[in-house]
Amino acid sequence: MKLKIKLYASLKPYLPAGTPKNEADIEIPEGSTVQSVLDDFNMPEGLYKLVLVNGVFIVPEARARRIFVENDVFAVWPPVAGG
């Protein structure tokens, strides 16, 4: 199934090569979870912090349980802040 994935800041290099800007539509196996997709991208833990599905933060303990469904939007940032 398709997943819209957005990787920002220092995570952008993990998107498929040639992705303009920060968004890509990727194919993932049915039953993929937040954690399994993070692992598939080979992003070391600690590199990502804000893990959002449809704008909602998924706490670390829930990432292996949250299964993606059609039309989910997955957005991830490293630790960042502002004002």
Closer by beta carbon to another protein, 22 or else 35? 22
The per-residue b/e assignment along 53-68, b for 16 or more CB within 10 angstroms, e otherwise, is beeeebeeeebeebeb
Helix, strand, coil shares, percent, the chain, to 5: 20, 30, 50
Using CB under 8 A as the binding rule, whether residue 79 contacts another protein is answered as: yes
Beta bridge partner(s), residue 62:
none
* Binding pattern for the stretch 31-50 against another protein, x by CB under 8 A and - elsewhere: ---------------x--xx
Using CB under 8 A as the binding rule, whether residue 6 contacts another protein is answered as: yes
Q: Which residues of the shown chain bind another protein in the complex (CB under 8 A)?
A: 6, 8-10, 21-22, 46, 49-50, 52, 54-57, 59, 73, 75, 77-83
